[in-house]
Amino acid sequence: MNSIEGNDWYKHGVYRNNILQAYDVAFFIGKKDFAKENLPFGVKNLLFIGDECYIRQSDFDEMMAIILKKMSFPYLKEYFDGHQKDNENLLTAAGELAKQDYSNAGPQELIAALQRYRKAASEVHHWLWSMEYVNAALDTYIRQAISSAYPSWDSMKIDSFIYSIADASKPLAFQEEIADILADKDIKELYKKYAWLSINFSEGMPFSFEEYQKRVAQMDKSKLKQDIKLKKQHVHEAEKLLQGVQDANLRDLLTIVQDLMWLKTYRIDAYSQSWYLIRNLWKRACRVIGADDTTLKEYTFDEIIELIEHPIPVQRRPDWTIVRQSDTVSLVLGQQSQIKKRIIRSLSLTALQGVGAYPGKIVGTARVILNDREIDTVKKGEILVCNLTNPNYNPVFDKLIGMVTDEGGILCHSAIMAREFKIPTVIGTKYATQMIKTGDKIEMDAEKGIVRLL
């Protein structure tokens, strides 16, 4: 544990997390997993301290530089196809498992089904994580490509072009749901198709029918119709702009970027939906072991297999850390505060530099939230400050006058939503959630990517 000390660590993400998920993510992102993407090594150092994820900046920079050298249309196409193939394999495996009746399943049948799901899920973890490096490298690469094609353009012109052309190539699940609601699809049909939207990876429970009815009833259909109209207009304008690009290589590159923007969110949807599909399998495991959903997710997969074979009383483990170092993964209990003291350095900043995801200059009040469990605290007219958003943040975007994130690039969910809702946004500041507190007055210049405390 002494080797984790140093000032190179930074908070890379804040997730809805649990031991079951975090341990397997850490376990399946090593050298042999990244070799499937023809990369020389995997994630060397990683800490999941509960919901917070920390990595070393030097490790991140080293991998990003390797991927930047690989950047090309063929590389990105191969990356997209490989990632999507494993997403679909996961959904296929989960769908087949969902067809089975586990109400009386014995230990060995239960273990075999869980192991099949784990094997399919293990194949997507390296893709989920390498997207973090691809996202960062692509930010640099796409700007270089546009600059080469249009040498007279300055950085603001390039950013404006990216804002205009950046759009996911296909509708995402939440957008399909809105279209189905506006088409007056039967509520039972909608529920069957979208009950899983309340799940994030393996965290959370599907909507009950009553919860989903309430969700649909609270939607403003007139506003949704206007949003869809604006979305279609933006898609049409982006397509027209894309077709106007004379450089065929750049046009191909921009097309695959749009595909990757879709994949950035779809990969989370696919994993979340797969977990929904195996819900009856998971419920049976909980019953056999005698634990509730939350408690059992505070155990590793191997521990759960042991508990199915030899059930014993289980207890909550709220204070946990997953440590990955030198291809070794370990679970540490009861030391979160001590570990944080070793890696978190104090900050005395009054300004942050990031990248503009949608332009605008504003002054407003900050609302800092660390994960989507806290979205109900967001009030209309505030500037959201967070690590990074995901689809569970979608209900708050029409409340915001601005957004600042620690992480992100042009592919990220925050950038996509910023452009869709026309919210001045600065992404990739690294330290926004550490420097800014809820209630602080901040000034944003999203054209220059600058955020200041007032």
Alpha-carbon distances, residue 346 vs 60, 123, 342, 433 (angstroms): 21, 37, 11, 13
Residue 371 pLDDT greater than 90, yes or no: no
Average of per-residue pLDDT across 233-255 = 90
Among 308, 317, 316, 306, smallest CA distance to 285 is for 308
Average of per-residue pLDDT across 234-257 = 90
Average of per-residue pLDDT across 387-414 = 88
Q: Look up the CATH superfamily of 351-453.
A: Phosphohistidine domain (3.50.30.10)
Amino acid at 386: C
Domain residue ranges in the chain: 2-152+276-343, 351-453
Inter-residue contact 143 to 324 (CB < 8 Å) = no
Beta pairing, strands 425-427 & 355-358: antiparallel
Residue 290 pLDDT greater than 90, yes or no: yes
Average of per-residue pLDDT across 97-123 = 97
Instruction: Dig out the tokens for 118 from the structure.
Output: 């784990």
Residue 318 pLDDT greater than 70, yes or no: yes
Q: What is the CA radius of gyration of the chain?
A: 22
* Chain position carrying tokens 């300055």: 154
Q: Which residues are bridge partners to 386 per DSSP?
A: 405
For residue 136, the model assigns a pLDDT of: 87
- Would you say the pTM of this structure is higher than 0.85? yes
For residue 162, the model assigns a pLDDT of: 85
Inter-residue contact 169 to 259 (CB < 8 Å) = yes
Average of per-residue pLDDT across 197-223 = 93
**Helix residue spans in 150-277 (DSSP H):** 155-165, 173-182, 187-194, 209-217, 221-243, 248-277
| Per-residue pLDDT tens over the stretch 113-161 | 999 999 999 999 999 999 989 988 998 999 999 999 999 999 888 888 8
| Per-residue pLDDT tens over the stretch 41-69 | 999 999 999 999 999 999 999 999 999 99
